[in-house]
Amino acid sequence: MIYRSTFNPKVRANFEEAVFLGLPDAKGLYMPEHIPELPSGFFNELGQKSLVDIAYSVLQPYVEGSIDAESLKDIVLDTLSFPIPLTPIHDHVLSLELFHGPTLAFKDVGARFLARALGYFAAEKNNETTVLVATSGDTGSAVAHGFFEVPNVKVVVLYPKGKVSDFQRKQMTTLGKNIQAIEIDGVFDDCQNLVKQAFLDTDLRESKTLTSANSINVARFLPQMVYYFWAISQIQRNYPEHKLSPTYFTVPSGNYGNITAGLFAHRMGLDIQGFIAATNSNDSFPKYLESGNYFAQPSVATLSNAMDVGDPSNVRRIQDLFSHDIQSIRQVIQSKSYTDIQCLQAIEEVFKTHKYLLDPHGAIAYNACELVPKNGLSIILETAHPIKFKEVVESVIPDAVPMPSHISAQSDHEFKISMTSDFDSFKEYLLSNV
C-alpha cells in the first residue's frame, strides 16, 4: 500500500515509512492511496469470523509490502488479546465495550498494534527508535503500556499538568524503564505542538529516529477499523433481531481518529447507515458540519477530558476522504456537542434505568443517540472503563465503580519531569537525554 499526504499528494511513502515518519509534511496527514473494498464473501461470513480473523483480513492490504502475512497474523493475535463485547443497554442501544485491554481504554487497540509493528521493524533493522506522544489522558497510558519493555524503543509521553486524572497520570508515570513521562505546564494542544515541532526539527531528525504514537500515526489509526466490523459480526451472531435495522455508530470524538477509522470501514464495504460524532464543549466539528467552514478553537477542559481537543487533526483525513465536499460528509456523519451536565445526567439515568454504568465519554455518546432515527439501532463506542473516571462517575452514583479484577493496584512511585511549553527546552532535553 502507498500512502500520500493529504496536503501534497506527491509526498508518498510505504507503510513502514509512514509509520516512522508519522507526519508527511507540515500540513498533511498520511492517507492510503486507495481504500480497498473487501469481497462480498467476507461480509456474508462476517458473523462466523473471529476478531483476529477479521483483523487480519481488514489490515492486510494496508501493510502489504511492509509486513509479511505470517508476521501480521502474529501481530494481530498479540494485539487483540482481550475481548471486545457488544452489550445491550436497552432495546435500541448497544455498547461496544472497548475498555477491556490493559489500560482500560480503546486506545489499547491502536497502541498495541503500533508497538508491535514498530517492534517488528526495529528488530529487522536493529535500530534505536524514540516514540513521542502527546496525550490528553488515554493515549499516553495506552502507548506507555503498549511499549513497556519493548527492546530498542524509548517512549517520551507529554501530558498537560493537572488536566489528566490521577489514575491516568499514574498509568504513564509509574512504569519507568523505557517510558519517560513529561508534565507540561499547558493544555493538550501545547503538548501536541511540541511533538509536531519536534518532527519538523532538522537537528532532531538528523540525530534521532523519531516516531509519533498519536492517532495521526497510520499504525495507531488503521487497526481501529477492526472493531467496527467486529460489532456487526456480533450483531449477526448474537442479535439476529437487529440484523435488518439501520445501524449507526455513535462515537465519542476528540481528535477524530476513532470515527475516521469507522468511516474507512464503511468505505471498505461495511453496511451501516451512518455515524454520529458526539462531542463535549469542544465543538469545532459540529460547528463545521453546520456552517461548512472549519475553525480551530482553543481546547476547553471538560469532564470527558480525553476529548478536550480544540483542533482535531483527523478532520483533514475526513475532508480528504470526502474530497472536501461538505454535503457528502453530512450524508454520512451527524454531530452534536453536549455539556458536562448532560454527561452526568446520562451516567445517572442509564445507571438508574438500565443498570449500565457509562464512563463520561460513553455518556456523551449515549446522549447523541437522540440523533438516530426511531427505527434505527445505535452502537455506542464505550471508549473507557468507568474506573478511569471514578471521581466523575461517583459524583452522581456513589460507590458505583469496583476496580476490575485484572488491574492491580497502582504503585506510588512516579517517574516524571516537568517542563513549560517552550520548544527549545524540550528539544534540548531530547538531544541530551534520549
Ligand X SMILES: *Cc1c(COP(=O)(O)O)cnc(C)c1O
For ligand X, the closer of residues 150 and 381 by Cβ is: 381
- Cell 490528553, residue located: 136
Smallest separation, CB 86 to ligand X (Å): 17
For ligand X, the closer of residues 120 and 228 by Cβ is: 228
For ligand X, the closer of residues 49 and 361 by Cβ is: 361
Smallest separation, CB 214 to ligand X (Å): 9
Of 7, 379, 384, the C-alpha closest to 216 is 7
Question: SS3 breakdown of the chain: % helix, strand, coil, rounded to 5?
Answer: 45, 15, 35
Rounded to an integer, what distance in angstroms lies between the CA atom of residue 305 and that of residue 161?
13
Decide if 48 contacts 277 (C-beta within 8 A): no
Of 59, 305, 330, the C-alpha closest to 161 is 305
Smallest separation, CB 393 to ligand X (Å): 13
For ligand X, the closer of residues 121 and 285 by Cβ is: 285
| Residues found near ligand X in the complex (CB under 6 A) | 105, 107, 137-138, 215, 252-258, 306-307, 361, 383-384
Of 77, 156, 118, the C-alpha closest to 431 is 156
Rounded to an integer, what distance in angstroms lies between the CA atom of residue 89 and that of residue 375?
16
- Cell 480503546, residue located: 106
Smallest separation, CB 240 to ligand X (Å): 30
Residues whose CB is less than 8 angstroms from the CB of residue 151 and which lie 6 or more positions away in sequence, other chains included: 119, 122, 123
For ligand X, the closer of residues 5 and 214 by Cβ is: 214
For ligand X, the closer of residues 307 and 369 by Cβ is: 307
Number of H helices and number of E strands within the chain?
Answer: 19, 14
Nine-digit cell at 136? 490528553
For ligand X, the closer of residues 23 and 204 by Cβ is: 23
- Cell 465495550, residue located: 97
Smallest separation, CB 173 to ligand X (Å): 17
Minimal CB distance residue for ligand X? 138
Smallest separation, CB 374 to ligand X (Å): 27
For ligand X, the closer of residues 66 and 217 by Cβ is: 217
Smallest separation, CB 63 to ligand X (Å): 20
Smallest separation, CB 84 to ligand X (Å): 14
Rounded to an integer, what distance in angstroms lies between the CA atom of residue 176 and that of residue 46?
41
CA atoms within 13 A on the CB side of 423: 12
